[in-house]
Amino acid sequence: MSKVEPVFDDTQSESGEGTITLYDASAFAGMHKAGRLAAQALDMLVEHVLPGVTTEALDELIMEFAQQHDAIPATLNYRGYTKAICTSVNHVVCHGIPGPKALREGDIVNIDVTLIVNGWHGDTSRMFAVGAVPRKAERLIDVTYEAMQRGIAAVKPGHTTGHIGAAIQKFAEAERCSVVREFCGHGLGRHFHERPNILHYGVEGDGVVLKPGMIFTIEPMINLGRASVKVLPDGWTAVTRDRQLSAQFEHSVGVTEEGCEVFTLSPKGYHCPPYAAG
Ligand code: MF3
Ligand code: CO
Ligand code: CO
């Protein structure tokens, strides 16, 4: 089995081998601003994710939104990636590249945006349903959202990254879904991808001990079928090997004395589909 590169690390050696940055209150304020803007960008897309729209049109909307708000999409020119968002449709697990193909009624799509505001990275993604979607797709979206929430609820000082992974894995597998192993959450802040890695499976007590000031993402990818994925020849697009549906949500969070703060909450309350009221 070929293994996919598990995670990026953009910190070079400046913070030292294996160091995890503990951020202060002003960093948390910066992350709140960046996270909120990234969430607002996803809110803005809600009315545009419709049958017939292309994923590259959604990418252009985010480019404009970023320009208007003095933000930079972190994925632009990141390791050769040339778009402002990732758009992962149906059996695409993550890192789908926006293109000329139109969304169709019944598709589900993850849209992942990272905006840099004053040097801080707000990284978040949500699922969108294109018109009416099959019941099993709705169920997968609900399971994936709840899995992320269980992971977030496990964040507190003294717990480890393993508590987060265990909470996600237990819930997802009890729902007869599987957890993608090849991609994980990541530290972030001044950089897009820092230490620690946040695995979405594992054992309570394993991994890194959580401390106030740590900032990272929780972004489980959950499959209806088997966990196994492969990356297409474009070098980015990850798909399920069995071509069954995959879903993902992502929040950026900071560890506090009591638990955590979520930086990327939707200002409009668009947490999980359906987003349009009624
Ligand atoms: N936003 C993705 C994440 O959650 C990373 C995308 S990297 C890209 O970490 F280059 F594919 F855009
Ligand atoms: Co991320
Ligand atoms: Co992301």
CA distance 64 to 198: 31
The residue among 16 and 260 whose pLDDT is bigger is 260
Could you report the per-residue pLDDT of 215-255, keeping only the tens digit for each?
A: 999 999 999 999 999 999 999 999 999 999 999 999 999 99
Extended beta strands in the chain, E state: 72-73, 85-89, 92-94, 108-117, 120-129, 178-179, 185-187, 194-198, 215-218, 221-223, 229-231, 238-240, 246-248, 251-255, 260-262
Question: What pLDDT digit, counting tens, does each position of 96-116 carry?
Answer: 999 999 999 999 999 999 999
> What is the predicted pLDDT for the residue at 4?
46
Section 162-181 average pLDDT: 99
Spatial distance between the Cα atoms of 272 and 276, rounded to a whole number of angstroms: 10
For residue 176, how far is its CA from the centre of ligand 1 (angstroms)? 27
Q: What is the mean pLDDT of the chain?
A: 95
For residue 187, which of 217, 149, 159 has the smallest C-alpha distance?
A: 217
Q: Which tokens sit at 271?
A: 């947490």
Ligand 1 site, residue 194, Cβ cutoff 6 A: no
> Does the beta carbon of 86 lie inside 6 Å of ligand 1?
yes
The ligand minimizing its distance to the Cα of 42 is 3
Q: Is the CB of 107 under 6 A from ligand 1?
A: no
Q: How far apart are CA 187 and CA 20, in angstroms?
A: 8
- Closest ligand 1 atom, CA of 112? 1
User: pLDDT exceeding 90 applies to what percent of the chain?
Assistant: 93
Residue predicted with more confidence, 277 or 270 = 270
pLDDT band at 5 (very low <50, low <70, confident <90, very high): very low
- The percentage of the chain sitting over the pLDDT mark of 70, rounded to a whole number, equals 95
With residues binned 3-state (H G I as helix, E B as strand, rest as coil), the percentages for the chain, rounded to 5, are: 25, 25, 50
> What backbone torsions phi and psi does residue 163 show, to the nearest 5 degrees?
-65, -35
225 CA from centroid of ligand 3 (Å): 23
3-state secondary structure of 100: coil
The C-alpha atoms of residue 191 and residue 13 are separated, in whole angstroms, by 12
Angle between helices 55-68 and 25-45 (to 10 degrees): 140
